């Protein structure tokens, strides 16, 4: 996985927008809420939300740790892009999007169909 591939995964999800925060982090958002964040530096490092029941198993993997400042909300920090297979990247990006989308106010959800 590289920055271009991650961008393709995220931008194909309905309503995704992007924003640069903290100087050098590219954030993918739905309804103004972040669901995936990556540093624009190399090597690529990514943070995203996961299910509470998956958090422990995922952070036990080599190359994945609890996300600084966001671990309490079940966000992981992927330090090594090969920590996931291509299929897993697709699954976890989609899942993060859906978890964040589910928490949006009804009024905003309606805008995205």
Mean pLDDT per block of 10 residues along the chain (113 residues) reads: 94 96 93 95 93 97 96 96 96 98 93 79
pLDDT of residue 41: 85
Instruction: Give me the number of domains the chain comprises.
Output: 1
Domain range for 31 is 3-109
Which residue bears the tokens 């995922």?
58
Instruction: Give the separation between CA 107 and CA 26, rounded to whole angstroms.
Output: 26
Instruction: Give the separation between CA 113 and CA 110, rounded to whole angstroms.
Output: 5
Which residue bears the tokens 């982090």?
25
What is the pTM for the complete model shown?
0.94
pLDDT of residue 111: 86
pLDDT of residue 63: 96
For 4, 84, 107, 108, 109, the CA distances from 80, given in Å and listed in that order, are 16, 8, 37, 34, 33
pLDDT of residue 30: 97
106 in Cβ contact with 45 (< 8 Å): no
- What CATH number is given to the structural domain containing 90? 3.90.1150.30
């Amino acid at each position: 996985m590289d920055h271009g591939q991650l961008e393709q995964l995220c931008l194909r999800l309905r309503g995704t927008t992007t924003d640069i925060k903290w100087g050098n982090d590219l954030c993918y958002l739905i309804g103004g809420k972040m669901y995936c964040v990556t540093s624009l530096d190399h090597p690529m490092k990514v943070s995203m939300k996961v299910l509470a029941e998956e958090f422990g198993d995922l952070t036990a993997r080599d190359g994945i740790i609890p996300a600084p400042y966001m671990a309490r909300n079940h966000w992981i920090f992927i330090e090594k892009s090969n920590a996931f297979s291509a299929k897993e990247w697709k699954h976890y990006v989609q899942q993060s999007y859906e978890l964040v989308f589910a928490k949006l106010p009804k009024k905003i959800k309606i805008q995205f169909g």
